[in-house]
Amino acid sequence: MSSLWLRCRSVLIWSPMAIMFNNHFYTLKTVSGRSMQPTLNPDSSTSRDTVVFDRFSIRLSGQLARGDIVVFPSPLDPSRMLIKRVLAQEGDTVSTLPPYPAAEVQIPFGHVWVEGDEPFRSSDSNSFGPLPLALIDSKLLFIVFPFSRWGSLAVSSPDRLPHGPIKRLQEAAVERERWRRSRVRLAPGNN
Amino acid sequence: MNRLSDVFFRLKGAPRRVYTGLRDGLRAFRATPFKVAGRVGKNVGLTSLYLVNGAAAVHLFSDYVGNVSPMQGPSMLPTLAIDGEYVIENIIGHRLNPSNISRGDLITFRSPHYHHRIVCKRVVGLAGDIVCVDPTGLKFPSSVHVLVPKGHIWVAGDNAALSIDSRDYGPLSTALIRGKLFARVWPPRDAVIFRNPTTYIE
């Protein structure tokens, strides 16, 4: 009994460090929803993706690049967390997709443009406009579960791959990336 | 000191403690001065770990419950001075009840322009309100009005001439809000609990 109490007490005493690590460095989360398909939660996978998210590089150094996948509370409903891909950073000009009122938008200071990989089921910057960097909670590092999908999501060059479904998936990812980039005009001096 | 004197006695062939068994023999065989150094190192490590843990606890408290923080900048004159004032920021109230925000409250939030900075402004409009973008006409003609969208509020500094607020970055998402200003504690002669000054004209 007393040893159980001692164990609980030591867990309690050291919990601030654990919570700090989780809040400011790295955290594990399970992604639900289809808006990042087929990059995350693809139909071929039987379970939802569990992913390591990096809070450290967002909060402390503010490092973010076009193409990063980020997590943030929805600006329209803070209780919902969204996961989207960064398309453009401040100063860039983006060609928007339908729900957005203007055809082109220049990203204001301190903001980014985010979109889901699945353009039809996604509530993203096309519905709520540029996203303040201050809202971004973390960025995706790598998938840890399911184990068959273990690893980072970097798109490798499909040229070296043997013919087969993996090559076709990679080719589709490269094509999507090319399409994303074609819609963004980079800010001057930022190539 | 005790340990060192142990060594001394053992070297003289007069141990103060009788070592028996293999384990004790090994313990006696190990050079005791090294052991003392190891113990000191371990204590330093553990102490610094406790210090880091304590700092983490303080930081978590100030992130989740509330804190006393200095205020800087001219944007909230005359409510808050440019420099040298300390206020209590109430964070747990907003965490427990995020919808409890009314027009006239002093709130703190992460700046949409500089994401490291936490700023304080006054709430002017809630979601669904139609607000005049700039009644002073400094940044926009005073005839421009906007509808505050869902999940957003409209914030403004009390000193319109020197304030960066919703006139610059538009409606503020409520997800950026951190807490409310509860009271000013320093300087003591200006100590005050902030009350909402809004009056509604029927």
Closest residue to A76, CB basis, from B112, B151, B169? B151
Domain locations in chain A as residue ranges: 25-185
Write out chain B residues lying below 8 Å of A78, CB-based.
98, 151, 173-175
Distance CA(B148)–CA(B174), nearest Å, equals: 12
Q: Are strands B130-132 and B106-110 parallel, antiparallel or unpaired?
A: unpaired
Question: Which whole number is the average pLDDT over A48-76?
Answer: 88
Q: Which pair of tokens denotes residue A162? A: 């043997």
Helix (H) or strand (E) holding B173: strand B172-173
- Percentage of chain B lying above the pLDDT 70 cut: 80
Q: Residue A72: its pLDDT value, please?
A: 94
Q: Tell me, rounded to whole angstroms, the distance of Cα A191 from its chain centroid.
A: 22
pLDDT tens-digit series, residues B68-85: 999 999 999 889 999 989
Residue A34 confidence (pLDDT) above 90: no
Q: Which pair of tokens denotes residue A70? A: 């980020």
pLDDT tens-digit series, residues B7-17: 444 545 555 55
Residue A41 confidence (pLDDT) above 70: yes
Q: Which pair of tokens denotes residue B90? A: 């109430």
* CB-based contact B75:B121 (threshold 8 Å): yes
Query: How far apart are the CA of B81 and the nearest CA of chain A, in angstroms?
Result: 26
Q: Residue B16: its pLDDT value, please?
A: 53
> Which residue did the predictor score with more confidence, A139 or B7?
A139
Residue B125 confidence (pLDDT) above 60: yes
Distance CA(B149)–CA(A129), nearest Å, equals: 12
Residue B98 confidence (pLDDT) above 80: yes
With 0-12 CB in 10 A as exposed, 13-18 as middle and 19+ as buried, what is A140? Answer: buried
A14 touches chain B (CB under 8 A): yes
Q: Tell me, rounded to whole angstroms, the distance of Cα B150 from its chain centroid.
A: 28
Residue A94 confidence (pLDDT) above 60: yes
Q: Residue A150: its pLDDT value, please?
A: 80
**Which homologous superfamily is A25-185 in?**
Umud Fragment, subunit A (2.10.109.10)
Distance CA(A169)–CA(A125), nearest Å, equals: 26
Q: Say what the pTM is.
A: 0.81
With 0-12 CB in 10 A as exposed, 13-18 as middle and 19+ as buried, what is B202? Answer: exposed
> Which residue did the predictor score with more confidence, B30 or A62?
A62
Considering only CA atoms, which of A119, A170, A143, A130 is closest in space to residue A50?
Answer: A143
The residue of chain B nearest to residue A21, with distances taken between CA atoms, is B56
Question: Which whole number is the average pLDDT over B143-172?
Answer: 93
Q: b or e along A89-114 (b: 16 or more beta carbons within 10 Å of the residue's beta carbon)?
A: bbbbebebbeebeeeebbbbebbbbb
Residue B123 confidence (pLDDT) above 80: yes
Enumerate residues 6+ apart whose C-beta is below 8 A from A149: A45, A49, A143
Question: Which whole number is the average pLDDT over B142-158?
Answer: 93
Q: Which CATH number fits domain B65-193: 3.40.50.300, 2.40.30.130, 1.10.287.80, 2.10.109.10?
A: 2.10.109.10
- Percentage of chain B lying above the pLDDT 90 cut: 61
Place of tokens 């100590």: B191
Q: pLDDT-based confidence at B186, cuts 50/70/90?
A: confident
Domain locations in chain B as residue ranges: 1-64, 65-193
Sign of the dihedral defined by the CA atoms of residues A57, A62, A68, A69, in that order: positive
Write out chain A residues lying below 8 Å of B63, CB-based.
23
* CB-based contact A145:A49 (threshold 8 Å): yes
pLDDT tens-digit series, residues B40-76: 777 888 889 999 999 999 999 999 999 999 999 999 9
* CB-based contact A41:A33 (threshold 8 Å): yes
* Interface test mutation site (partner A, options B60, B173, B176, B178, max chain A beta carbons within 10 A): B173
Closest residue to A78, CB basis, from B63, B98, B149? B98
